[in-house]
Amino acid sequence: MKTLKLTLKKQWFDMILFGKKTEEYREVKDYWVNRLCIKYPKNVIAVGIQLTHKHSGQQFDLDKFDLIEFTNGYNKKSPQVTLECKGIEIGIGKTEWGAIENETYFIIKLGSEVSRKNC
C-alpha–C-alpha distance, residues 41 and 53, integer Å: 23
> Domain limits at 55?
3-117
Per the structure, how many domains does the chain have?
1
**Greatest extent of the chain over all pairs of C-alpha atoms, in Å:** 46
Q: What is the CATH number of the domain that holds 32?
A: 2.30.130
- Give 56-112 pLDDT, tens digit per residue: 445 567 788 999 999 999 998 999 999 999 998 888 999 999 999 988 889 999 999
Q: Quote the pTM value.
A: 0.82
User: Is residue 24 packed enough to be buried (19+ CB in 10 Å), middle (13-18) or exposed (0-12)?
Assistant: buried
Residues 6+ apart with CB under 8 A from 98: 12, 25
Q: Which residue has the higher pLDDT, 113 or 38?
A: 113
